[in-house]
Amino acid sequence: MKNNFFIPFKGKYYECGVGTKKKKILVIGASFYCPFINGNDDCKKCTDINLKDSSPYDKECKIYKSKGKTLHNEPTYSIEDETIAYKRFATSISKFVGTDDYEKIWSHLSFTNYVQFILPVEEGEKYRETKESDLSPRDFNAFLDVVTELKPDVVIVWGCVVNTPIKNNKYLIDKKELIKTDGYVCHLSIPNIKHKICIINPYHPSSIRFWYNNLKTFQDHLLEQLML
């Protein structure tokens, strides 16, 4: 089975990088979720937390199909939807990109979510937090595939849960840095990539209080890495 189901969004200026050093930035969110299950058997299978495989419904989801869309392109749709978390994040790094324009900021970035299937939302809820039980080894292998393809200099990982496998694996080369920065920064050395990959792990931009309380810390760490 192919590791990465979701095709990452890649801005048209991604290869140009960000900042004076032209650092390429990949943003990793947590997961996509579906609030439209409503007892439909196909929807239940698509979002089955045991199967963890939405690919059979990639082109068959009635909601996406009616709009001429496919599930695997959700990273791009998420950027296009301009929801508050994506706007909040864009605003937070606008000074590094040199513009306040949402589309222009994201055009310099790449993005995907870590979990490689659509998560179900509980009945009566509109939002679904990612759980540790939602993760699988496939997600980390997909992460490696995406990083190997895009070769970012910096990977910004939003929030908790999905940060654990990304910051704790055999490719980690500076655990002391991770401890020194209170879990914000570390580096991975991944086969077939000549440069080390910097991981920066801020709070998720949807967590308003934690995001803004720790925003300067994130920006300071990002600036430092962009200047190296």
Buried b (16+ CB within 10 A) or exposed e, 65-79: eeeeebbbbbbbebb
CA 75 – CA 95 distance, rounded (Å): 24
Tens digit of pLDDT for each residue in 157-209?
A: 999 999 999 999 999 999 999 999 999 999 999 999 999 999 999 999 999 99
Grade residue 213 by pLDDT with cuts at 50, 70 and 90.
very high
Count CB-CB contacts under 10 A for residue 96.
18
Q: Element (H or E) spanning 164, and its range?
A: helix 163-167
Domain boundaries along the sequence of the chain: 9-36+75-227
Specify the fold of 9-36+75-227.
Uracil-DNA Glycosylase, subunit E (3.40.470)
Mean pLDDT of 77-106: 97
Tens digit of pLDDT for each residue in 124-143?
A: 667 788 999 999 999 999 99
pTM: 0.96
User: What's the chain's average pLDDT?
Assistant: 94
Provide the residue type at 184 as one letter: Y
In the structure encoding, which two tokens stand for residue 168, read together? 């704790």
pLDDT of residue 39: 60
Provide the residue type at 95 as one letter: K
pLDDT of residue 42: 86
Mean pLDDT of 38-50: 84
CA 115 – CA 142 distance, rounded (Å): 9
| Residue 41 confidence (pLDDT) above 90 | no
Between 84 and 44, the higher pLDDT residue: 84
* Residues 156, 200 contacting (CB under 8 angstroms): yes
Provide the residue type at 91 as one letter: T
